[in-house]
Every structure is written in structure tokens, then in C-alpha cells.
Amino acid sequence: MVRKTMLKIAVAVFLIFTGVQYLKADGVMLVRPPEGRIPTPLAVTYHRVSVDIHDGTAVTKIDQMFRNDFDTDLEASYIFPIPEDAAIGEFALYVNGERMGGEILDRDRARQIYEQIVREMRDPGLLEYVGRNMFRASVFPVPANGQTRVELEYSETLAYDAGMYTYRYPLDTERFSPTPLDEVTISADIYSSVPVKSIYSPSHDVDVIMRPHGASLGYEAKNLLPDRDFLLYYTVSEEDLGMNLLTFRESGEEGYFMLMLSPGDLAGSRQSKDVLFVFDTSGSMSGEKMEQARQALRFCMNSLDGDDRFGIVQFATQETLFRREMVPANKKNISAAHSFIDRMRARGGTNINDALLTSLHMFNGSGRPRMIVFLTDGEPTVGVTDLHEILGNLSRANEESARIFGFGVGYDVNTHLLDSLAEEHRGVSEYVTPGQNIEVQVSAFFRKVSEPILSDTAVDCGRIDVSELYPASLPDIFRGTQLVILGRYQGRGGSIVRLTGTVNGRSVGFDYEVYFSEENQEHEFIPRLWATRKIGYLMSEIRLKGEKDELVDEIISLSKEYGIMTPYTSYLVLEKDADYEEWGVEPSAELRSGGMGFKRAMESVKGEDAVQSSRDIDDLKAKSVADGPELRTIKHVGHKTFYLRDGFWIDSEYSPGMKSREVAYLSRAYFKLLAEHPGLGRYFALSGNVIVVFESKCYRVSE
């Protein structure tokens, strides 16, 4: 189908018309303050968005409150930039309950207005709107020392491609807002005649409630300066398992891709599983920790399906088994397991090696998904205590390819051991820190993995050469979850992507026709998200296996190219006191994230720093939301990264000595260039001093 550019219509942010500052959100509201008053942007009290989507048609309702701190009423003009191909079903603007009239201007007339504002304000912020149509409406009054509530509604037909719908809402006020917004909320309800397979937002962490033919989701933040658009993808399909491909590629370059897999309800895919619960009952687990561990284990017992099999290994100096073999999860065995759990007592040392070896030997080739839920609050103190020897023993013993999911309780656990177990045995490691409830953490985890859909997963992209896939080892797919894979690719054109796995001991495969683009810059978040995950895996490699120069060099290179701050980058860049002012950070920030403190955290096996380091790295490895820059001297615009140097915003693709075309800010040549290449507008909007590499040419704009 023909792609439609997403409708980017505004709602309400105020622009001071007689100064050098203005506040920009989705659109702009131009106001003139009283004579003799210093121009001050008007504050946005709240910004609320609700969206109803029915089979690809979206109705967006916006509710915003503005505050006028001047002593007189103000007259204003609303300006809403509209993409050229937007399909507008209804467009309404209400102020104080009264519907406001307006007009739609074509892009040539709109460009004249945008350029005139830029000339008068000597501020390039509106240039990102160049090349779009415009909706304009008059607003009066904006009451003195009062608030004005604006309600806006518009409808649009969403872009659709191969079972995927895309919704975008403009939510960028970061550059011009003088103060954070008190409240920002976005809610959406999706209804579909075709089953909804997955929901994904690369821009914001959203809470999602899935339904067979729809979903509800929400995002809320307080005291926030939004710095990116809200972007949402949802997929629909009649197939048992949904797959969708997004790509990003610049002409002549290697491409990036994101593959989304969602299981839905595979016919006959409910798999019976074998689960072993290996729980530490050494002396350090006494008191409240022991009772919480019992409650967690009881929850897991009650969550098992009748066709599952289970076992319990209680360990301290020695291990105590509920049964010597796996048993069915029937009422009789579950009842007996509860009695066994009630008798668990905390005493003795911690023999991790023997407990896990005993557990692995209990699996007997059933062909089912095999899981070990392992909980401990300390380091190995009895039997084999050497980390590498334990890992070697378990690697040789795990002939059944059981997944090991580790829970570390407190700060005395050996984080390198738990993280290595998870990495080598395709599980995850989680930590329950002091003050957190063991029962809540373990129960929430087990709920997520209680229904495996597809085990031993693998992906083959056919004729397309793919590389550097993350996650590096594909996990099993569980009901209610989705798998997001990022990677690089060479080649182009159509291909068959084949997903293989195991369902109830039977090998299955799913084929999907996809298209790897030769050039596609629509999904500009993918490169940075891919780089974030890669940095996470490189950091994990260093933490668990030791620092190597080539790994550090690669982290630094990725960090600078994609604008992702890392402890290594911080430590190496901020070597002198003068650098702190240039980078816009306090010296204490470097001490928290870089230097020797960082190195100690990376090398620590146990303690609070070690647990936090493990969590931070796991967060990078599983990142699904592209974070904004951490420093005010770094900006992300589309897929590009800009750094502030000597008053210029400089494209990370620029290198000293590169041949550049010099353009004077606000000159006739400046606006002619924008007319010829509207895509430059979003980059020129950064500043009157900017260096950008665009379509293989370098432009240097200066005041």
C-alpha cells in the first residue's frame, strides 16, 4: 500500500513574538506581550492526549492548559504544521468552549509564514516545519493572569504496511520550554477486526493491556520536558505467529533492521514444561527472607499446569530433595510440596555447585522446555567455590539445554556467577535488593515465563546477509511477550525469513515474506537502539571476561557516533577540569559514572555497586526504547547526533577538513537552500550555527 506521511498537527504551545525566545510543542501560538515587558514564554500547565484507533483510523484528542502571567489580555494566532499527505477527517479547535475558525494553507504559503517568523525572531526553531502545509486559527482572549484551556481534535488514516500500523504524535518541547510541564499523559485504545499481535513504542515506556482484538495503553510523566515524538507500532494478523520487519538504510551504506516476533495463540502451542526450583536455605536466609522465599515458592507451585512436571531442591551445606525425580504437577504432589516448603529451615553453608549439578541430573530427556529457577543470597562457601570451575562443571552437565534463571537476594551474592549462568544457559539474572519483596519479584517473573510458546528459537533471513544480531542468543518465546531483534544487513530486496523452534518436542518452522530496503530513512530510531544494545553486550563481555583494548575502543567509537554516553566515554573525554564546562556536566557526575569508581564497579563481584552494574548492563542489552541524550551539549535529530563545540552544533558524521558549503544564516541563499532541500529544515532548526552532512554534502551555516 502507499505509505502516508503521518499527520503532525499541533496543540498548543506559546511563542513570544517580539523577542528571541519562544515555546514550541506540537504547533505554535504566537502572542504579543504588553509594551515594555520582557518577553517570557507562557507556561504549559498540562498536556493530555487520548487516542481512539479503529481499524487504522485514529482520532486524537488533545487537552492543554496555558498560563498567561501578564497583566493584560493577549491576542494570539495558532499555527499547526500539517504533513502534505495527511488525511484529515475532522479538525476542531475549542477555546473556552467556543469553536474557533481557521484556514488551511498550502505549503508554499506556509513556507512564507515560517520563514517570516524565523527572520523576525532570529530563531530557527520553526524550520523543521518547512515543506508542510499549515492550519491557522485566531485565538482571543488569552486572559490576563489567568489560564486558557485549549481542546483540539483531529482524525487521520494511519500508515499501514504488511500488517503493521504506525501512529505518531508530536511531543517535542525540549528546546524552547522555559520550565517543565507539570503533567504529560498519553492514553490510547485500539480496536481491530483482525487480531492484534503486538504493541511496541520505541520512544516511550508504555503500560499495555492486550486483548485479542485490541489493546489499551498509557504513558504518564510529571515535571517533564518532552524531547521526542510519541511513536507507536501495532501489528495485526490472522496468522498464529506474527512477524514484522522495519529497516533503516542510507544510500550506499549497510542497513539496520528490527524484527518483531509476537506469538499470539499458536494452535496447540501450549507446552508442558519441566521446572526445578533450587532454593538457598543457608543460615543467611533466616527470618523474613526465608518466609518471603517460601511464599514465592508456594505461588510458583500453584501456577503450574497439570501437565507440567516439577522438582524442588533445597540446598545449604547439602541439598535436600522434595523427590528424587521430577513429578507431575497434580493436586496430590502440589499438596505434598506445600508441606515440604513449610518444613524448610535456614541453616548451614552455601553449596551452589552440587545443588545445581544435582538439579541438572534430574532432567531425563523428555523433550519439554526445561527451566531451573535458582535463588540464593550469598557466594558459594562449601564444596567447589571457584567461579570458573563451577561454570565449567555446569556447562558439561547441562546436556538437556535447561534454561537457568537466577535470583540474587541482597548484596552478598556473586553477581558474576549469576550473570554468567544466565548468559551461558539462555536465561536471565535478576536481583532482589534490601527492602524489596522476594515473593513479589519471583512471582512476577514466574508469571511471565509460565507458558512457553516456542523453545530453541532461531532465525534465518534467507538471501540477505545479516550480522551483529541482538540479543546475541535468542531466548524462548512466552505467551504474552514479544521478541525484538536488532541487527545489521547487506543486500536488498525480498527475502523469506524463517523462524524455527520446538513445540512439545516437535520441530516447527514459520516462513514470512519481507523486504529489506535499499534506502529507507523512515524508522530513524533503529540505528541508535541497535548501538545501545551492542554497547550493552560489549560492556557485559568486559565485566565478565576482562577488559580488552579493542572492546573499549569499540564502545568509545559507538558512543561518539550515536551520542550514547557510557562510563568509558565519560572517563576518557572529561580528563581536564575545563572539559566539564564544555560538556555541560558537574565534576561529581563524572565521579558517579566514570573513572576509578566505574572500574571498581565493573570489577566488583558482590556488593551494591556490583548489583547496580549488572542491572545497568542488562538494561542496555534489552533496550527497546531509544533514550534521549544525557548531556545538554548533545542533541539527537532523527538518526543523527550533534555535539556543541565552540558555539556550533556539529554533525557526528563531520570530520575536520571536510569540504563544506558556507551559508550565511537568514541569507537569501539560506532560504533558497531550504526550498530546494526541505529535509535540511530539521537540522537547521538546531541553531544559527550548525554543521550538517546531508545527502553526501556538508553545509556550514553561521551567524
Per residue in 622-644, pLDDT (tens digit) is 888 877 777 778 888 888 999 88
pLDDT band, residue 604 (cuts 50/70/90): confident
Helix, strand, coil tally for the chain in percent (to 5): 25, 35, 35
What is the mean pLDDT of the segment spanning 647-657? Answer: 89
Q: Which residue has the higher pLDDT, 653 or 72?
A: 653
Please check whether residues 260 and 392 belong to one and the same domain.
Answer: no
For residue 83, say if its preceding peptide bond is cis, omega within 30 degrees of 0: no
Please check whether residues 298 and 438 belong to one and the same domain.
Answer: yes
Confidence at residue 607, expressed as pLDDT on a 0 to 100 scale? 84
Select from 415, 435, 450 the last residue of a domain: 450
Signed CA dihedral, 491, 492, 493, 495: sign only: positive
Tell me whether residue 6 is in a domain.
Answer: no
Examine the pLDDT at 552 and tell me if it is beyond 80: yes
Cell of 239: 496468522
Please check whether residues 259 and 173 belong to one and the same domain.
Answer: no
Examine the pLDDT at 369 and tell me if it is beyond 50: yes
Tell me whether residue 628 is in a domain.
Answer: no
Please check whether residues 112 and 23 belong to one and the same domain.
Answer: yes
What angle separates helix 668-676 from helix 107-121, to the nearest 10 degrees?
A: 150
Confidence at residue 10, expressed as pLDDT on a 0 to 100 scale? 26
Q: Which residue has the higher pLDDT, 208 or 111?
A: 208
Confidence at residue 344, expressed as pLDDT on a 0 to 100 scale? 92
Confidence at residue 538, expressed as pLDDT on a 0 to 100 scale? 94
Examine the pLDDT at 4 and tell me if it is beyond 50: no
Q: Residue 151: beta bridge partners?
A: 63, 94
What angle separates helix 352-360 from helix 387-397, to the nearest 10 degrees?
A: 10
Q: What is the pLDDT of residues 288-337, one digit of tens each?
A: 888 989 999 999 999 898 889 999 999 999 999 999 999 999 999 999 99
**Residue closest to 241 by CA, chosen among 18, 512, 531:** 512
The domain that contains 111 carries what CATH number?
2.60.40
**Cβ-count burial 261-297 (b if 16+ within 10 Å, e if not):** bbbbebeebbbbbbbbbbbbbbebbeeebbebbbbbb
The structural domain count of the chain equals 5
Tell me whether residue 222 is in a domain.
Answer: yes
Alpha-carbon distance 231 to 140, whole Å? 33
Q: Which residue has the higher pLDDT, 447 or 487?
A: 487
List Cβ neighbours of 578 (8 Å cut-off, separation of 6 or more). none
pLDDT band, residue 42 (cuts 50/70/90): low
Please check whether residues 91 and 119 belong to one and the same domain.
Answer: yes
Range in 76-85, 135-144, 565-574, 647-656 with the lowest mean pLDDT: 565-574
Please check whether residues 442 and 457 belong to one and the same domain.
Answer: no
Tell me whether residue 661 is in a domain.
Answer: yes
**Residue closest to 34 by CA, chosen among 16, 20, 11, 13:** 16
What is the mean pLDDT of the segment spanning 197-215? Answer: 89
Please check whether residues 89 and 228 belong to one and the same domain.
Answer: yes
Q: What is the pLDDT of residues 681-697, one digit of tens each?
A: 889 988 899 999 998 89
List Cβ neighbours of 673 (8 Å cut-off, separation of 6 or more). 663, 680, 699
pLDDT band, residue 448 (cuts 50/70/90): confident
Range in 24-38, 40-54, 602-616, 628-642 with the lowest mean pLDDT: 24-38
Which segments of 174-329 does DSSP mark as H helices, in order? 288-303
pLDDT band, residue 41 (cuts 50/70/90): low
Q: Which residue has the higher pLDDT, 60 or 10?
A: 60
Q: What is the pLDDT of residues 459-487, one digit of tens each?
A: 999 999 999 999 988 888 887 778 899 99
Helix (H) or strand (E) holding 588: helix 587-593
Tell me whether residue 579 is in a domain.
Answer: yes
> Average pLDDT of the chain?
82
List Cβ neighbours of 378 (8 Å cut-off, separation of 6 or more). 280, 282, 284, 350, 410, 412, 413, 414
Tell me whether residue 382 is in a domain.
Answer: yes
Do residues 678 and 131 make contact, with C-beta atoms less than 8 angstroms apart? yes
Do residues 343 and 373 make contact, with C-beta atoms less than 8 angstroms apart? no
What is the mean pLDDT of the segment spanning 255-263? Answer: 89
Select from 406, 434, 450 the last residue of a domain: 450
Tell me whether residue 139 is in a domain.
Answer: yes
Select from 572, 596, 621 the last residue of a domain: 621
Please check whether residues 663 and 595 belong to one and the same domain.
Answer: no
Please check whether residues 498 and 432 belong to one and the same domain.
Answer: no
Confidence at residue 437, expressed as pLDDT on a 0 to 100 scale? 87
Which segments of 406-473 does DSSP mark as H helices, in order? 415-424, 438-449
What is the mean pLDDT of the segment spanning 178-184? Answer: 79
Domain that holds residue 397: 274-450
pLDDT band, residue 116 (cuts 50/70/90): confident
Please check whether residues 379 and 444 belong to one and the same domain.
Answer: yes
Confidence at residue 644, expressed as pLDDT on a 0 to 100 scale? 87
Confidence at residue 239, expressed as pLDDT on a 0 to 100 scale? 77
681 torsion bin: left (phi>0), alpha (psi -120 to 50), beta (else) = alpha
Please check whether residues 548 and 425 belong to one and the same domain.
Answer: no
Tell me whether residue 9 is in a domain.
Answer: no
Examine the pLDDT at 492 and tell me if it is beyond 70: yes
- Residue 585, Cβ neighbours under 10 Å: how many? 19
Confidence at residue 386, expressed as pLDDT on a 0 to 100 scale? 92
Examine the pLDDT at 442 and tell me if it is beyond 70: yes
Q: In whole angstroms, how far apart are CA 239 and each of 138, 264, 525?
A: 50, 9, 28
Please check whether residues 226 and 84 belong to one and the same domain.
Answer: yes
The domain that contains 410 carries what CATH number?
3.40.50.410
Examine the pLDDT at 269 and tell me if it is beyond 60: no
Alpha-carbon distance 621 to 530, whole Å? 9
Q: What is the pLDDT of residues 6-16, one digit of tens each?
A: 222 222 222 22
Identity (one letter) of the amino acid at 345? R
Alpha-carbon distance 206 to 196, whole Å? 17
